[in-house]
Structure 1
Amino acid sequence: MKKDPCSQALKQSREEGRQVVYLDETWFTTRMSHNTEWVDTAQPFTTTTYEYSRQVPPGDGECFVVVAAGTNKGFIEDSFLCYTAKNSSGDYHGEMNAELFKRWLTTKLVPSLEEPSVLVIDNTPYHSHLTEESHCPTTGTKKGDLINWLRQRNITYPPHALRPELLKICKENRPPPRFTVDNTIRLWGHEVVRLPPAHPELNAIEQVWSVMKKYVRSSLHHFTRTDLNARLNEAKLYVTEDVWANAVQRSEYFEREYWSLDNIHDSVDPIIISLASDDEEEDFILDSFEG
């Protein structure tokens, strides 16, 4: 029976005694889906009743993007980064790109890892920026560029081939995907395990985010940036080593299930979107790395 390569790699890493690090990004807002709460404006903020009846301002509020990593012992020291998003839609993916993620990786996370580790990541576009040698021509590639791509790789083609035929030959010789993030991680002496698409249950930090969001959602009172910052700091403390250990244990349970039932196949290709870097520097985010 064919086994899931992700689960197999994680299983082998643990047997070798390597630390498994789960990393991910998520979002929090100053409203946190409280808009439909019943409101009793007669109750002052200091009363117990107000705990269950908060006056929530209209709208989505401000959105904060959080990036972090952790193990079964808790968050990796200095890996927790929080910054204000430019929009409040909750689509935090639009607030991150490959350059910013790599900056966080090399300045916040990997310098804090004290032992060779295995980093578990998903196939979000900014985790999956292809190296130059991994790029393959697309339907938008000009005929001359198709020919150059084939010549550079000493791949033969009919001398009078039309563009569709050239593109077909290029795709038949598509190089295996190599990612800039993976190369960076390995340069620091660590390994990478990429999760199959649509399997967040294999990433323990997803469960940690859920615990933190539940805490923040239930504890917001003023629905301001200051209020959210304070609740986030409390939520980090609320997520104890036991919470992390339980999250990792549950992810390992799913790994074993997929290992035994073979519900994930290594023939399923990850969804990879190669993003061009923005011309405008994201100063509002990059400044966060200097703090």
Structure 2
Amino acid sequence: MYKDLKSKDPDMPYKQIMSKISQTLGIGLNSVCKIISEYKSTGTVASPTKTRSKKCLFDKIDDLDRNGIRQKVHSFWLKKELPTIDKVLEAVNDDPALPNFKRTTLYTTIKKLDFAFIKRKRCSVLTEREDLLVWRQNYLYDIRKFREEGRTVYYLDETWVNAGDCVDKLWVDKSIKSKHDAFTRGLTTGATNPTGKDQRLIVLHIGSHKGFLEGGLLCFLSKKNSSDYHDEMNSNNFHEWFESIIPHLDPNSVIVMDNAPYHTARIEKIPTASSKKDEILSWLTSKGIVIDKSMFKPQLMAKVRKIKSRYISYVVDNMAKNAGHTVLRLPLYHSELNPIELAWAMVKTYVKQNNTTYNIDDVKSLLNTAIDRVTSENWKNFIEHVKREENKMTEVDRNMDEIIDNLEPCVLTITGETSDSSDF
């Protein structure tokens, strides 16, 4: 429109052109002026920035904080006390290592950690959701069985290292008033401030009681400005790396990993409620299911749910199985059961203590040195710590089962649906 109006009437005032475009297209005058100004200065027009959905607090806190909240709930069960939302809120907010929560925000966060609020007598008790509890106990049974069989257990995980990572506290000479003062006294102004914070290394590795697996490190520079390092990895990258490390594993080993999307890419796409009706019909037909084409979509999805468990198969699991290995997945939000998290903590501490240049290449060199410093003895200690955590979780589940079974139940049970605040 701008070009057309200019060609028809070159002498038309700029403001009049803007006003005419705005009225004709129904677009705000300021937006029209901004777009035309951008075009005149750059020769092109960028796509409007899409409004991003606002992240809730649960998305902002990291796995360490989520795990800390879960452990606060478990601590009550270990003491054979009933955890209520008020008790947990006080415990979380009293811990300086955890974020401070409002009552309703903590309630929402805990539910997203797959806890359930079960009504007993005059209060609601926090307990694990049944499916997560079953998953955890199955995991604990399997990992103990594999150890008893003498199979090597490998643990893998991703993390990140920022160019600006450094220690939070250090000694400062407060007698130095300025750079000139330091120079005249033959002193320094202390450590320089971190730079290059936007640069980040994404790191993937795998290890066992023997230490980090030789040749198992994958490290690359982040290209996305994202708060979540998981955004950097994709299924293709992970599968390529996984295939490369399989030949280096001990025979008949077990590989423990979490449930990141690229760890759980499926061989076959199974229809969901968002699938087109024709796609659902085609999938059911391919499985030999006799269907009536006059059936409605909810009826077809009911048939899908009935048989889909037979066809859930993951790419990584098949790769491992074909090489004689077994993949074991951690329960959701249970990073404390992965000893590599302790290895990462040791690695990052070394990098922070020795990072003085904040240069990404220097940080990468520090990272490699830090990984080499983690010995097999360290790994054995990490695994022993995890075993103690596993025993603690079994005790939590035992106490939970015993105490809840002896409580007088109420009619109302809340297991995942939003409740009124008066219920908790």
Given the two structures, how large is their TM-score scaled by the length of structure 1?
A: 0.79
Q: Deviations over 1:69-97 (max 9, x none)?
A: 11122111110121111135452211111
User: Whole-Å Cα distance in 2 between the matches of residues 114 and 36 of structure 1?
Assistant: 42
Change over 3 Å in CA distance of 1:148–1:226 after alignment to 2: closer
User: Whole-Å Cα distance in 2 between the matches of residues 209 and 117 of structure 1?
Assistant: 22
Matched residue, 2:237:
100
Q: CA RMSD in A?
A: 3.0
Shift, 1:48, TM fit: 11
**Alignment match of 1:60 (pick from 187, 194, 197):** 197
1:140 partner letter = S
Where 2:357 maps in the other structure, the secondary structure is coil
1:142 partner letter = K
Larger deviation, residues 67-76 vs 137-146: 137-146
- The yes-or-no answer on 1:23 pairing with 2:160 is no
Where 1:23 maps in the other structure, the secondary structure is strand
Instruction: Report which structure shows greater RCO (CA 8 Å, sep ≥6).
Output: 1
Matched residue, 1:160:
294
Matched residue, 1:4:
137
Change over 3 Å in CA distance of 1:223–1:58 after alignment to 2: closer
- The yes-or-no answer on 1:85 pairing with 2:222 is yes
User: Whole-Å Cα distance in 2 between the matches of residues 171 and 13 of structure 1?
Assistant: 31
User: Whole-Å Cα distance in 2 between the matches of residues 104 and 24 of structure 1?
Assistant: 12
1:155 partner letter = I
Change over 3 Å in CA distance of 1:90–1:235 after alignment to 2: farther
- Correspondences of 1:162-201 after superposition (within 5 Å): 162-176=296-310, 177-201=312-336
Give the aligned length. 258
Tell whether the 8 Å contact from 2:330 to 2:337 is kept in structure 1 after alignment: yes
- Correspondences of 1:229-244 after superposition (within 5 Å): 229-244=364-379
Matched residue, 1:147:
281
2:301 partner letter = L
Where 1:169 maps in the other structure, the secondary structure is helix
Tell whether the 8 Å contact from 1:37 to 1:56 is kept in structure 2 after alignment: no
Q: Deviations over 1:212-258 (max 9, x none)?
A: 11111121000002220221122113322222111111111122233
| Gaps in structure 2 of 5+ consecutive residues | 1-132, 402-424
User: Whole-Å Cα distance in 2 between the matches of residues 73 and 58 of structure 1?
Assistant: 36
1:6 partner letter = Y
Matched residue, 1:211:
346
Where 1:4 maps in the other structure, the secondary structure is helix
User: Whole-Å Cα distance in 1 between the matches of residues 361 and 332 of structure 2?
Assistant: 36
Relative to total residues, which structure has the larger helix share, 1 or 2?
Answer: 2
| Gaps in structure 1 of 5+ consecutive residues | 266-291
Change over 3 Å in CA distance of 1:138–1:36 after alignment to 2: farther
1:162 partner letter = F
Q: Deviations over 1:139-192 (max 9, x none)?
A: 232222211112222223444212232223322332343211011011111111
Q: Deviations over 1:105-138 (max 9, x none)?
A: 111x212113321000110000000111xx3212
Tell whether the 8 Å contact from 2:205 to 2:218 is kept in structure 1 after alignment: yes
Larger deviation, residues 54-63 vs 144-153: 54-63
Tell whether the 8 Å contact from 2:254 to 2:328 is kept in structure 1 after alignment: yes
Larger deviation, residues 109-118 vs 205-214: 109-118
